[in-house]
Amino acid sequence: MLKSIGTKSILFPLPVLLIGSYDEAEKADFMTASWGGVVSSDPQCLSVSVRPERYTYNNIRKNRAFSVCFPAVKHAEIADYCGIFSAKNTDKISDLNLKVSKSELANAPILDDFPVNIVCRTKTDFDMGTHTVFIGEIIDMLADPSVIGASGFPEIDKVDPMIYDLATKTYYSVGAPIMKAYTTKRKNK
Ligand SMILES: Cc1cc2nc3c(=O)[nH]c(=O)nc-3n(C[C@H](O)[C@H](O)[C@H](O)COP(=O)(O)O)c2cc1C
């Protein structure tokens, strides 16, 4: 029998994202975020939830733009580092020797060696308790050709993205495919 276990802001699986932004001196910062997702397909929008104490917060506020980069499993330590240390105290870009360029469409940094970078312009934002939710309209996607499939978009097995488990504070990789979606037939017909 199921039992009531209390409550926690939890979903499976949570993504591991790096949110890129520029500060007033045009210095790039990347912050790890798991609290993000897709919110709309028209307009094409993503959400990221950022606490106001993050250095990233004022950067996004100022620029009304940010990037969302997908680390691959091989970038796990980089992703963890960007989730522990703040640009308030260190330069994560030089600490990690990251190669960064600037989006041609918005004031947002791109991680050149990451498989996928999404460039967003902030459409709206609102405070929700501990976090501010930034809704970003996707204005560009940059992908390494090696992760692009027949659909013309990045494919999960090629990207090899990271997953975060909030309950155990552990990173996972994606498992094996189960079946094609939208293929199940109606029963008793
Ligand atoms: C796995 C993981 C997920 C995280 N998710 C979020 C998040 O969704 N929102 C947030 O505000 N902070 C999140 N953090 C914490 C920030 O990444 C961390 O405070 C970081 O140092 C902020 O960097 P900044 O001050 O340079 O912006 C997460 C950290 C980790 C390790």
CB 102, CB 110: distance < 8 Å: yes
Phi, psi of 66 (to 5 degrees): -160, 165
Residue whose C-alpha is closest to residue 18's, from 162, 175, 165: 162
* Structure-token match 């918005």, residue found: 106
Q: What is the reported pLDDT for 188?
A: 85
Ligand 1, residues 54, 55, 75, 128: which to mutate, most atoms within 8 A of Cβ?
A: 54
Largest CA distance in the chain: 65
Q: Is residue 53 over pLDDT 80?
A: yes
- Rounded CA gap, 141 and 117, in Å? 6
Nearest ligand 1 atom to the CA of 164 is 1
Q: Is residue 144 over pLDDT 90?
A: yes
Ligand 1 pocket check for 85: Cβ under 6 Å:
yes
Q: Is residue 112 over pLDDT 80?
A: yes
pTM, entire model: 0.96
- Rounded CA gap, 53 and 46, in Å? 21
Task: Report how far ligand 1's centroid is from the alpha carbon of 86 (Å).
Answer: 9
- Rounded CA gap, 48 and 15, in Å? 11
Nearest ligand 1 atom to the CA of 30 is 26
Phi, psi of 89 (to 5 degrees): -120, -15
The 10s digit of each residue's pLDDT in 148-189 is 999 999 999 999 999 999 999 999 999 999 999 999 999 986
Residue whose C-alpha is closest to residue 134's, from 59, 26, 28, 27: 59
Residue 142: pLDDT band with limits 50, 70, 90: very high
- Rounded CA gap, 27 and 36, in Å? 23
* Structure-token match 């030089």, residue found: 94
Q: Is residue 100 over pLDDT 80?
A: yes
Considering only CA atoms, which residue is closest to atom 5 of ligand 1? 33
